[in-house]
């Protein structure tokens, strides 16, 4: 496995508190305890619209904000070289998780500073990352610069719940108030509060959605319905991910499409899976 030397690489366009949080989060929740079929199912939903068949043989690409490497583990066997980029301590978890792959390179740096040649990459992806960066557009532009003309770029961004009922949006606004409080606490206290949230809110809601599905009742608008089959471990991870993060941005589909097009991406399309409709794919303009 190849490790990139990057001690001299600068760190720009990041919120250091957010980076520290994710480093601690992904060292706490490495996802090693999650069943492989759950991870694979989630990966397939994220990459449903990704054009694997159009990639060249031995394609080289990047995972911008790889975290623990849980998605990189499914990408690496399909490509020639995969460059994993992450500014947090989670890169150490990814190195261990992906040590069996000889075609993975690691860069402990920010998306804006990733040391890949411009116009050199056959594909790229950034899932659940760009909305945690101070200047999201600059980070997306940095990703697109690395792509060859016509190369695909897959992104997942937080939705703004534009298509949800008013009561759903009110609940989100209430929880966002708590997020702004919890994210300022030390990591140990964040874990305490988010474990309570997972136990008494996340897990019951997700299982309520599961029961409604089994009884052929509407469940789509129940909060956390998309995670109705997930384990309690994942509920704890999700609660920490949601409430421990100081910086997050949310987009409508129109806003996300406009953002991607302003970054020289074209032919933008969105995922069709009911709970992954803010996954978007674009191609770098020629």
The mean pLDDT of the chain is 94
Tell me the mean pLDDT in the region 123-142: 98
Predicted confidence at residue 216, as pLDDT, reads 96
Same domain for 142 and 185, yes or no, is: no
Predicted confidence at residue 1, as pLDDT, reads 46
Same domain for 105 and 141, yes or no, is: yes
- Per the structure, the count of domains in the chain is 2
Same domain for 113 and 9, yes or no, is: yes
Reply yes or no on whether the pLDDT at 2 is more than 50. no
Same domain for 174 and 217, yes or no, is: yes
Q: Which residue has the higher pLDDT, 258 or 31?
A: 258
**Which domain does 205 fall in, by range?**
166-243
Predicted confidence at residue 9, as pLDDT, reads 55
Same domain for 83 and 175, yes or no, is: no
Written as six digits, the tokens of 181 are 């409080």
Same domain for 217 and 260, yes or no, is: no
Same domain for 215 and 153, yes or no, is: no
Question: Contact 162/252 with Cβ under 8 angstroms?
Answer: yes
Same domain for 178 and 88, yes or no, is: no
Same domain for 61 and 77, yes or no, is: yes
Reply yes or no on whether the pLDDT at 147 is more than 70. yes
**Most distant pair of Cα atoms in the chain: their distance:** 58
Reply yes or no on whether the pLDDT at 7 is more than 50. no
Same domain for 97 and 233, yes or no, is: no
Q: Residue 32: exposed, middle, or buried by beta-carbon count in 10 A (0-12, 13-18, 19+)?
A: exposed
Beta-sheet strand order (sheet of 279-284): 2-3, 104-107, 81-85, 60-64, 123-127, 152-156, 279-284, 265-270
Percent of the chain scoring above 70 in pLDDT = 97
Tell me the mean pLDDT in the region 150-155: 98
Same domain for 177 and 93, yes or no, is: no
In tens, the pLDDT along 83-94 reads 999 999 999 999
CATH number at residue 148: 3.40.50.150
Of the CA atoms within 13 Å of residue 197, those in its CB half-sphere come to 22
Same domain for 264 and 135, yes or no, is: yes
In tens, the pLDDT along 168-219 reads 999 999 999 999 999 999 999 999 999 999 999 999 999 999 999 999 999 9
Count the helices and strands in the chain (H runs, E runs).
10, 8
Predicted confidence at residue 130, as pLDDT, reads 98
Q: What is the pTM of this model?
A: 0.93
């Amino acid at each position: 496995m190849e490790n990139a030397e990057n001690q001299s690489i600068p760190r720009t366009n990041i919120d250091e508190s957010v980076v520290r949080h994710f480093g601690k989060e992904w060292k706490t929740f490495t996802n090693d305890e999650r069943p492989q079929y759950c991870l694979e199912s989630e990966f397939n939903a994220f990459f449903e619209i990704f054009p694997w068949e159009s990639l060249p043989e031995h394609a080289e690409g990047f995972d911008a904000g790889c975290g623990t490497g849980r998605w990189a583990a499914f990408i690496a066997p399909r490509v020639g070289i995969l460059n994993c980029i992450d500014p947090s301590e989670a890169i150490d978890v990814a190195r261990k998780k992906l040590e069996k792959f000889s075609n993975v390179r690691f860069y402990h740096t920010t998306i804006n500073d990733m040391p890949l040649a411009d116009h050199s990459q056959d594909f790229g992806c950034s899932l659940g990352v760009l909305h945690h960066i101070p200047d999201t557009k600059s980070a997306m532009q940095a990703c697109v610069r690395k792509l060859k003309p016509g190369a695909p770029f897959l992104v997942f961004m937080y939705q703004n719940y534009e298509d949800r009922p008013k009561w759903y949006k009110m609940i989100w606004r209430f929880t966002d108030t708590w997020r702004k409080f919890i994210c300022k606490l030390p990591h140990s206290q964040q874990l305490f509060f988010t474990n309570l949230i997972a136990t008494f809110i996340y897990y019951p809601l997700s299982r309520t959605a599961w029961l409604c599905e089994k009884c052929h009742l509407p469940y789509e608008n129940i909060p956390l319905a998309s995670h109705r089959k997930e384990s309690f471990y994942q509920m704890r991870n999700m609660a920490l991910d949601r409430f421990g993060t100081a910086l997050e941005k949310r987009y409508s589909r129109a806003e996300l499409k406009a953002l991607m097009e302003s970054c020289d991406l074209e032919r933008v399309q969105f995922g069709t899976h009911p709970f992954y409709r803010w996954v978007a794919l674009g191609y770098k303009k020629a």
